[in-house]
Structure formats: C-alpha cells, structure tokens
Structure 1
C-alpha cells in the first residue's frame, strides 16, 4: 500500500458504492460520471491499495478478501468526513447542554437579561447563561472563547472582532414623578440647579462627561453610585435627578413610576451592538446565540 499519500475522497466513495451495487455502470450513474472515468478511478484505487479489490464475475463485480477487510475502515472515514462537514449545523437548542457567557454592563442586566433568560428557558432549557463584565479583558475573552458575546457600546475592541448593531441610544433624565420643582419639561437651567445622582459604570459614561465639559455644565452631584442597582428607588424617594441612556432610563421609570425627561444638554448618542470574535463566526452555537440576540433586541 502507498503510505506517502491519502486516497482521494472520490475513490473512497467509489469503493463504498461499488461494494454495495457490484456494477460499474450503476456506480457511474450514481456518481454522475462516465463509465470510462469510473474505470480510471478504480484503477487508481487498485494501484493505491495494491489489490484488484473487485473481480468481474457473472453475478457482478465481486469483492476480494482485501476489499472485504477494508470496507469497514472506508465507511468509517466517509462517515467521519460527513460529520466533519456538518459540524456547524449540529447545534440543537432544544437538547443542547452548554454554557454561554455574555459580557454586558449592569444596565443590560436590567434591560436585556430578563428577556433573554426567558427565551432561553423556553427554547433551550439545557443552556446555562453567565453574565460577565465589559472591561479591558473583554477582547481577550472573546478571542479565547472564555466569552461568547459582548453586548453594549464597546468602541475600543480591536481587529478580529465582528459586530452587529442592535439599536440606537440617546439620553434621558429621570426624576420623581412628584418632584416639587419640575414639570413636564426639564430646562437646562433647572438641570444645572438640581441635585444629581451619577453612575460611575456604563460604557457610554464618557460621552456624557464629554458633553458636560463641552457645554461647560458642572452638576451638583449629591450621590455617586457604582452601577444602576438601587437607582430607581433613590430617584423615587428623593428630589434628585439622573442622566442615563434611554433604554435603562425608561425601564427604571416603568418599574419605579418615575418621570422621564428629554435631556436638556446635547449628548452624543451611541449604538448598542453585539460583538464576537472571528474565530467563532461560523461556530454553530455562537451563530444561534447571535441570531437570538438579534431577534430579541435588533431594530425592527
């Protein structure tokens, strides 16, 4: 046997079919080739394996003992190649047992995660979700596969990262619905005069800071929080106001019965996107997860 090179896959397919049908004519028909071509391929396979493999008899092409010994290995190879070719469509959410880790801000824990979790529990009960922070380690985590997706405003991610826009964000202000000094519209003058709660977290916070500096607005900060946890209750029970992206703002307003005001300071908006590494662009589970996120949160 020639051990310096592997047989062409079409020769293995020929071997598999001829072993079953015992007819060069029928093999040619099933492979869509001419009989002379099949005869040439059979000659190559015989030379490679150094055996006649099939002998012409009145009952058809009868396999030799060497062919009998090799057919099992041939079919294992073909089946492995079929599995190899079909790997990317093998993900079945209904039966999959898998962990997906998604990097997101704590605002997304409030706005996106409940809906995503509900979808997963209904459509993919064996899936485990993990929420991780967006930070300086996010790009490395996506590349290594430690994280599957990053969802948010992450403009610093570098090369090798795919992205898909989900929705646009602008900025709003929240206040107690019964605020003693605010009516339907919040003016720039009132914005400067009122006490503020600021949020240190959030990937869009730098856009707000840049806008305040550009407009020369210095807020009277009464409370600084590391994240959005507790913000709704604080606004509901005080006369403080908060400036934050619309999605999390409107979500907190619904839950805590707060007033939503157009932000009187012009702040640059941003797009929330999902990000993934090129290494996992064609991986079936990652593709399914991205499709779910796009379906649930993509712009209509």
Structure 2
C-alpha cells in the first residue's frame, strides 16, 4: 500500500505562509533572510509535496491557486501549534542577537522616537538593524504577516487580533519664534487668529486638529503647507509664522531650534500614543524585548 505523502517541513510551511501574504518571492526572501534561489528551491519542494503549483506569476505578483487558498488556513494552524509547542524561537539575547526589526511609525516619530531607540540599541544590542516604515493602509497586514514588528502612534483603525499598550498622552501646543515680534506674553485666541500659520498634513492626529478647529469655527490663515515636519523648526525660527502640533514633536522641535512653546488656545481633542503588535507575535521573545525597550524609553505614568 502506498504511504501518504509526509507533511512538509516547518520551514516550507513558513515559506508558504509568508509567500501567500506578501505575493512576492523577493520580499519573502528578504523577510526570511534567504536568497531568492533558495526560496525557489523550497517552493519547488513544496509544489511537489502538495501536488500543485500553489502560486503563479501575474503582473501584480505571485497569485495563489485555488488549492493554495484552501491550504493556507490549515498551514497557519500547524504553524501556530508549533509556535505554542516549542516557543518557535529561542530566548532572545540582545547583546548578541542579529535581527532586523521594522517599526511602522509616523513622520513625527522619525524625530521624537527613532534617535532614542537607536541610541539604546547601539549601546545594548549592536547587532540589531532597524527599518522605519510608514503607518498606512498596509500596516495591519504587515503586522499580521510579520513584515513589521510594531506600529507606534495614534492608529485607532487597527482591527482585531492586535494587542496595544499606551506609551504616553498627547495634547496640542503651538510653536513660534522665541523672538516673535507680536507674541511676547503668550499666545491667546486673538493672536492665534491674527497670525500666519504653517500647516503640516502629516500625522495621524491631524484629523483631530481639523475637527477641533471646525467645532470652534476657526479658519487659520495658512501661509505655508508642508507634507511633514522636516524643515518646520527652521521655518518657525526664522519667520513670524506659527504652527499647531502635538506636544511631543512640538517640544522636541522647540528644544532643537530654540523656539517658544505655547499652550494651544483652541480646544483640540487629546489622544494617546500606543504601541501595537499582532497576537501571532505576542510570545515572540524578540518582539517582547522590543516592546519592553519602548516602555522603558517612552512610557509615562
């Protein structure tokens, strides 16, 4: 009697999972830390064992076959069982670890968070490599697939299967030049309405700012619109313009450029910056360590 085909090795199942999620041999090779020829060889073994092409090339990437669509659920159940049974990864030792972590962060966090994180890693985990990615519509899928490790910011739209942890609260401040000719004893509403403004479109909290201004029936006199915070500090410091932004990035830019920080005279909803990760990686020792670093560096109680 013919023997049943053995279950594919865990490494092949992991490839199947990653390739199904990313739809790209190149990106799968990058995430798994393997060469593209190795990925092709493993995929050949997987196709032979499962007796199906599994993926076919299309203009938009590697499209799964109907059999792949059927098999992905059982594949992920097997992988999750293996993770629970064996912890899937050995204990993470920061001082000797060689690993890439990808953080989905806001434009402001490039200035406020990344320098402190990188300083900590260079001192305590020199073999770690960081990658910064945008927070966008692909963030949830990236966390689920493992393409990204953490999302840090104000991301209220992330769906189920995610853990979250508060790092710090955010309210709103205004920045002006320290030698602004008309703002000497603080910024009141009259001055806020009279001055020219720099508008920054980046940041997931900007909708809260827009909503607060609309509630107050305030229309700012926008002189300059920027896609991000790059250059904002120098512009505020060298002009009589003002800007409204979350406190963390505001105070950071003020310290860097010698700017004045004022309480915002308009009532804008506050929000909390959180770190988010997918339930699939809740027990991953490297992910746990990275979350602990974020708490140590940024959590305010």
Mark yes or no: TM-score above 0.5.
yes
2: CA distance, partners of 1:147 / 1:191: 40
Matched with 1:208 is 209
Distance in 2 (alpha carbons) for counterparts of 1:281 and 1:85: 14
Runs of 4+ in 1 over 2 A off after TM superposition: 84-89
Q: How far apart are 1:259 and its partner, in Å?
A: 0.4
Q: Secondary structure at the match of 1:150?
A: strand
Question: 1:43-54 residue pairs with structure 2 within 5 A?
Answer: none
Query: TM-score scaled by structure 2?
Result: 0.71
User: Helix, strand or coil for the counterpart of 1:274?
Assistant: strand
Give the secondary-structure state (helix, strand or coil) at the position aligned to 2:274: strand
Counterparts of 2:133 and 2:185, CA distance in 1: 38
For 1:291 and 1:88, locate their aligned partners in 2 and report how far apart those are by CA, in whole Å: 18
Deviations 1:167-210 (A, max 9, x none): 00000000001111112211111111100000010000000000
Q: Could you list the runs of 5+ residues in structure 1 that have no partner in the other structure?
A: 1-80
Distance in 1 (alpha carbons) for counterparts of 2:183 and 2:105: 33
Deviations 1:223-250 (A, max 9, x none): 0000000000000000000000000000
Aligned 1:92-241 pairs, distance under 5 A: 92-241=93-242
Cα deviation for residue 124 of structure 1 reads: 0.5
Q: How many aligned residue pairs are there? A: 220
| 1:286 equivalent in alignment to 2:287 | yes
Distance (whole Å) between structure 2 residues aligned to residue 139 and residue 85 of structure 1: 26
Tell me the distance in 1 between the aligned counterparts of 2:132 and 2:191. Answer: 38
Cα shift at 1:86:
5.8
Contact 1:88–1:282 (Cα < 8 Å) also in 2: no
Q: Secondary structure at the match of 2:108?
A: helix
Q: Once the 2 structures are TM-superposed, how far is the Cα of residue 90 of structure 1 from its aligned partner?
A: 1.4
Q: SS in structure 2 opposite 1:106?
A: coil
- DSSP 3-state at the match of 1:191: helix
Aligned to 1:270: 271
Do 1:139 and 1:158's aligned partners in 2 also have CA atoms closer than 8 Å?
A: yes
Q: Tell me if the contact between 2:87 and 2:284 (Cα under 8 Å) persists in the aligned partners.
A: no
SS in 2 for 1:186: coil
How far 1:89 sits from its partner (Å)?
5.2
Q: Could you say which residue in structure 1 is the equivalent of 2:6? A: none
Rounded Cα–Cα distance in structure 2 between residues aligned with 1:140 and 1:170: 29
Specify the structure having the higher radius of gyration (Cα): 1
Aligned equivalents of 2:184 and 2:268: distance in 1? 22
Indicate if the aligned counterparts of 1:184 and 1:261 stay in contact, CA closer than 8 A. no
Question: What is the CA–CA distance in structure 2 between the aligned matches of 1:109 and 1:194, rounded to whole Å?
Answer: 28
Deviations 1:261-291 (A, max 9, x none): 0000000000000000000000111011001
Q: Secondary structure at the match of 2:268?
A: coil
User: What displacement does 1:106 show?
Assistant: 1.3
For the residue of structure 1 that corresponds to 2:197, the secondary structure is: strand
Aligned-pair CA distance for 1:85: 3.9
Cα distance in 1 for partners of 2:87, 2:243 equals 51
Give yes or no for contact 1:91–1:284 (8 Å, CA) kept in 2. Answer: yes
Gaps of 5+ in 2: 1-81
Instruction: Give the secondary-structure state (helix, strand or coil) at the position aligned to 2:276.
Output: strand
